[in-house]
Amino acid sequence: MTDVSTETTIGERRAIPVGVIVAGLVLCVIGLGVATYLTIQHFNSSLSLSCPNTGRINCEKVTTSQYSHAAGIPVAVLGVVYFVVALALMTPQAWRSPAPWVRLARFGWLGVGLLMVLYLVWAEFFGVSAICLWCTSVHVITFLLFVLVAFTEAWVAPTAEVP
């Protein structure tokens, strides 16, 4: 059974569908898992990525490139931080919070993540000339989280009176 209300009064937000909450949490946990894997691999050079390391698909080339750090911090570590914060912002309590700053923080945080993904995709294609499949999975998850939140926020927005 879903937690969806189709009838709202003017100025009232619709309830968040349970499926949205579950999808957001699942995406965050998967993203956190991949980012953690990439972080462990970054700090333990004896581990190798389960990814081809020749040709256009080359995780090693991407994860050891000059683009694998931002402000001296490994991008993989930034990914772990990103998904931990995103996970907190995707909890049922955060979704149901009446405080507008929670919605703004969630949308803003995911927007920053999407901008970072766009930069990293550019770096893979044009800076490194290689693609990391693990990184691509993080990029897709980040994009899906952003789309999920954008559409959900548009759907649950307070209804307006039509003149």
pLDDT per position as a tens digit, 94-114: 998 889 899 999 999 999 999
Q: Please identify which residue in the block is written with the tokens 């100025």.
A: 11
Closest CA to 152 of 106, 99, 98: 106
Least confident of 23-27, 45-49, 94-98, 117-121: 45-49
pLDDT of residue 51: 78
Q: Where are the domains of the chain?
A: 18-155
pLDDT of 29-87, one tens digit each?
999 999 999 999 888 877 777 777 778 888 889 988 999 999 999 999 999 999 999 99
Classify domain 18-155 by CATH number: 1.20.1440.130
Mean pLDDT, all residues of the chain: 87
Q: Which residues, in sequence order, are bridge partners of residue 70?
A: 73
Closest CA to 15 of 161, 163, 160, 159: 159
Residue 130 DSSP label: -
d(C-alpha 139, C-alpha 108), whole Å? 17
> Considering the chain, what percentage of its residues have pLDDT values greater than 90?
65
d(C-alpha 57, C-alpha 75), whole Å? 18
pLDDT at 129 > cutoff 70? yes
Mean pLDDT within 154-161: 67
> Considering the chain, what percentage of its residues have pLDDT values greater than 70?
87
Q: Are 149 and 110 in contact (CB under 8 A)?
A: yes
Q: Are 142 and 46 in contact (CB under 8 A)?
A: no
Residue 127 DSSP label: I
pLDDT of residue 156: 76
Helix (H, G, I), strand (E, B) or coil at 7: coil
The whole-model pTM stands at: 0.85
pLDDT at 1 > cutoff 90? no
Mean pLDDT within 111-129: 96
Q: How confident is the model at residue 6 (pLDDT cuts 50, 70, 90)?
A: very low
Least confident of 107-111, 142-146, 157-161: 157-161
Tokens in use for 72? 């001296």
